[in-house]
Amino acid sequence: MRPRLTLPPLPLPLRLHYHHHHHHTLRTYTTQPPKPPSHPSTPPQPNLRHNRLILALTGATGSIYGIRTLTTLHQLNIQTHLILSKWALPTLRYEAPQYTLPYLNSLATHTHSPRDLAAPISSGSYPVDGMIIAPCSMKTLAAIRMGYGEDLISRAADVCIKEGRKLVLMVRETPLSVIHLENMAALARLGVVIFPPVPGFYTRPKGIDEVVGHSVARMLDVMGVNVGDIGVDGREGEGDKEGGDGGGVMPAEGRWVGWRK
């Protein structure tokens, strides 16, 4: 029988308020999820010279990917510069209203307005190890491809390209037009990693949380971040309980049997 995908439980007790916007009902939460612990004793990341990454969220659907990336980096004690685009906030409020802006800001080392082009990360002389945009909208993709630094997100990405730093774009769109594909191809030729969050069902995920965690773990691996004991569900000590590969990413039997039948 096909397993049923479920969302992770929300923190209780909750007091819900309803706001009517067009024909949709939005829920906002007056309590927040518990802040995940950071670990000052976490071993340094051997592939991160400065232990510092830029993380940006845009208005594309899939804000939970950016949230999971931020919480994981916080748990690994990796410094983050967080930027939310103008349309990232409405998407966040609609898709994951329990994660408020103050909550996300509390997980980041530094936060920046997308309009602040005077921020240190807009300069190549400020050392960072790379940048992740999750999710990345097609508008932001096009701006980066054309070198159009109209805001801090596209400017910081442009800096990463010119300085030869790693840039990972978790693009979120379907179907893809020729314009989208050509923009991705042009950036890929420059060394930018195009990372659509395609679910790996060979992992036999128990819920949406594990689907998200699997994509985020793979993306961070591309960036050179060792997730270690933090499993795909974001909890410590869950990494290898199935006896598989990649911190519990693939069950042992899935490597040779499950997906080859």
Residue 102 token pair: 């103050």
Judged against a pLDDT cut of 60, whether residue 113 lies above it is answered with yes
Q: Residue 141: which domain range?
A: 52-67+79-197
The Cα–Cα gap between 190 and 131 comes to: 15
Q: Name which of 7-11, 145-149, 188-192, 194-198 the model is least confident about.
A: 7-11
The Cα–Cα gap between 60 and 139 comes to: 9
| Binding site as annotated, residues for FMN | 59-61, 85, 137-140, 172
Task: Taking residues 151-175, report their average pLDDT.
Answer: 98
Are residues 236 and 170 part of one domain?
no
260 in a domain, yes or no? no
Is residue 213 within 8 Å of residue 250, measured between CB atoms?
Answer: no
| Binding site as annotated, residues | 59-61, 85, 137-140, 172, 202, 218
174 in a domain, yes or no? yes
Are residues 219 and 193 part of one domain?
no
Are residues 172 and 57 part of one domain?
yes
Q: What is the pLDDT of residue 253?
A: 38
Are residues 103 and 56 part of one domain?
yes
18 in a domain, yes or no? no
Task: Taking residues 18-33, report their average pLDDT.
Answer: 49
CA distances from 108 to 78, 81, 139 (A): 9, 6, 25
Q: What is the enclosing helix (H) or strand (E) of 135?
A: strand 130-136
Task: Taking residues 82-95, report their average pLDDT.
Answer: 96
3 in a domain, yes or no? no
Domain count, the chain: 2
- The larger pLDDT score, comparing residue 248 to residue 148, is at 148
Residue 10 one-letter amino acid: L
146 in a domain, yes or no? yes
Are residues 190 and 85 part of one domain?
yes
- The larger pLDDT score, comparing residue 14 to residue 78, is at 78
pLDDT in tens, 174-202: 999 999 999 999 999 999 999 999 999 99
153 in a domain, yes or no? yes
Task: Taking residues 79-102, report their average pLDDT.
Answer: 96
b or e along 218-256 (b: 16 or more beta carbons within 10 Å of the residue's beta carbon)?
A: bbbeebebbbebbbbbbeeebbeebebebbbbbbeebee
Task: Taking residues 82-99, report their average pLDDT.
Answer: 96
Are residues 243 and 182 part of one domain?
no
pLDDT in tens, 210-251: 999 999 999 999 999 988 766 555 555 444 434 334 344 444
The pTM (predicted TM-score) of the whole model is 0.77
CA distances from 37 to 31, 106, 236 (A): 18, 12, 10
| Binding site as annotated, residues for dimethylallyl phosphate | 202, 218
